[in-house]
Chains A and B, each alone.
Chain A
């Protein structure tokens, strides 16, 4: 199984500042035939279901503010949130859908 790790476990960032979360996979999630990374990012606000932020590692989902960005390839990925807003308080998960069983990272709790 592909093991996903995230760092840090939690972080506190001031309003208006930048937050960066790292995700690593135990093996590459890059499919060479189409050059796509099978990696997604999700936001889960307290008491809510997860919401997709990015797929294919860096493609922003519809309606996601452009202060959210994502990058990376192979086994190393980042999620960056610029100009942090109060509504960004959540747990953020990365998720590989390269090979079954698909797996999630343990989550990173973002606080103000």
Chain B
């Protein structure tokens, strides 16, 4: 079955960096858009970035543009999110999501930005 497993989250100080990874299985990873969606504590869902299957196209939400970088490695069925210059408002559960319509979701991983 489809499985998406995020890793790399944790506590980081404001201004710091963190790299999230997501390992995918159970679907044709190299044919799918991959997306990161986040959810701040007690809040709704926020789409933050996606990457097309060939890595040619990437898009970002305005709130993270210039600070976050999405990438993927189709040989390892993995997608990554490099998060730089982190702010307190980046504190959230980050979900790895597969499919252009957000078909498949991971369990999410918590990123806390705090001094």
Contact = CB atoms under 8 A, between A and B. Distances in A.
Interface of A: 1, 38, 40, 42, 44, 49-52, 55-56, 61, 91, 93, 95, 97, 100-107
Contact of B102 (A1, A40, A105): A40
B101 A40 contact: yes
A104 B47 CA distance: 7
Given A40-B101, A40-B102, A55-B103, A100 B59 contact: yes
A52 B101 contact: yes
A94 B43 CA distance: 15
B59 A50 contact: no
Nearest to A61: B103
Nearest to B45: A104
A102 to B, nearest CB: 4
Given A93-B44, A97-B100, A102 B50 contact: yes
Contacts, number: 58
Q: Which 8 A-B pairs have the closest CB atoms?
A: A100-B59, A104-B45, A55-B101, A49-B105, A102-B47, A107-B44, A101-B61, A106-B44
Contacts of B62: 1, 101
* Most B Cβ at <10 Å: residue of A1, A42, A49, A95: A49
B6 to A, nearest CB: 10
Interface string B2-37: 000000000000000000000000000000000101
A35 to B, nearest CB: 16
A104 B46 contact: yes
Given A104-B47, A106-B44, A107-B44, A49 B106 contact: yes
